[in-house]
Amino acid sequence: MLEIQRGVIELNNEVIKLQDVTAGYKTVTGFKSILKRYQVVLKDINLTVSKGERVAIIGESGSGKSTLLKVIMGLLKPIKGEVYVYGKQIYKLPWRERVKIIRKIGYVPQDPYSALNPLLTVKHAISEPLEALGLKDEIIEQRVREAVKFVGLPQEVLNSTPDELSGGMRQRVLIVRALVAEPEILILDEPTSALDVSIQAQIINLLNDIYSKLKTTMITVTHDLAVAQYLADRAFILRNGSISEEGPIDQILSNPRSEYTRKLVLSYYVTSFKNNKSVGTE
């Protein structure tokens, strides 16, 4: 009896689960694309994310980070393996049904410069997810204003167009856009890599603030160990399309098990300040 209950609880807690996922892109185009020839990017990925967790997926360029995100968000059907989002096999569903599940994911894309349509106002961009839900205009307006207030953006920003905004502002707008439909999972793809140091710190603080208020599940994809340390409790190290290490982030940083992770961590310490202790300890 107890075991059954435990099983139920566990099932409810797993929001995302990847089982032996192998994914890749077709190598042939045109009519030949019916032939199933792939270049494999991800190999046998097993990954579970529970509710309310903060997870980081760490990897260098070319390690398959973005492909993994595409698989999780229902944009790329894996060659092999199963993807469960909220216990449902999303790739067994048609796109219309799949989108209903995917909507629970708020996605903040990598490049804040290509993620906003240059011809639409910020308000239009933010209200798009609500519009897709079929809400009334007044409700949309109200919720957009609330969300903008929540992340500390001025209301005037709503009527500006993206090219009037700086990178940091754009990133905030994208975070608002991801949050406005009240998602249960927040996926951040390199949330700070395009930003300057001080703006990066602002965004990191903002994201931590959001987490402490909303307790949404957060998945951060990054190449930067230091950023991951601030935004996650558990980490997966991705290397050449497979997970080379997994565990609590503090343990990975202090006591890496694989040779690759050790090298990665070490190279960070090399580029750190000469004497760490004297920095920022007031």
Least distance from C-beta 2 to another protein, angstroms? 37
Residue 94's Cβ-count burial label (10 Å; 0-12, 13-18, 19+) is: exposed
Residue 39 lies near another protein (rule: CB under 8 A): no
* Pair of tokens at residue 82: 């199963």
Q: Which residue in the set 21, 47, 204, 219 belongs to the binding site for another protein (CB under 8 A)?
A: 204
Nearest CA-CA partner of 171 in 124, 213, 109 = 109
Query: Least separation, in Å, of the C-beta of 32 and another protein?
Result: 9
Which residues, numbered 58-117, are part of the site for another protein (CB under 8 A)? 60-61, 73-75, 99-100, 102-103, 105, 107, 109-111, 114-117
255 interacts with another protein by CB under 8 A: no
**CA gap 22, 79 in Å, rounded:** 6
Tell me which of 72, 148, 181, 186 binds another protein, using CB under 8 A: 181
Residue 213 beta carbon to another protein: minimum distance, rounded to whole angstroms: 17
Exactly one of 205, 251, 255, 258 binds another protein (CB under 8 A); that residue is: 205
What span, in angstroms and rounded, lies between the C-alpha atoms of 189 and 218? 11
Strands in 217-222's sheet, in edge-to-edge order, are: 105-108, 185-189, 217-222, 54-58, 234-239, 242-248
The 10 Å Cβ neighbour count of residue 239 is 18
Please give the DSSP secondary-structure letter assigned to residue 104: T
Q: Which positions from 157 through 176 interact with another protein, judged by CB under 8 A?
A: 161, 163, 166-169
Contact flags string 218-247 toward another protein, x per CB under 8 A: -----xxxxx-xx-----------------
Task: Give 6 or 149: the residue with its C-beta nearer to another protein.
Answer: 149
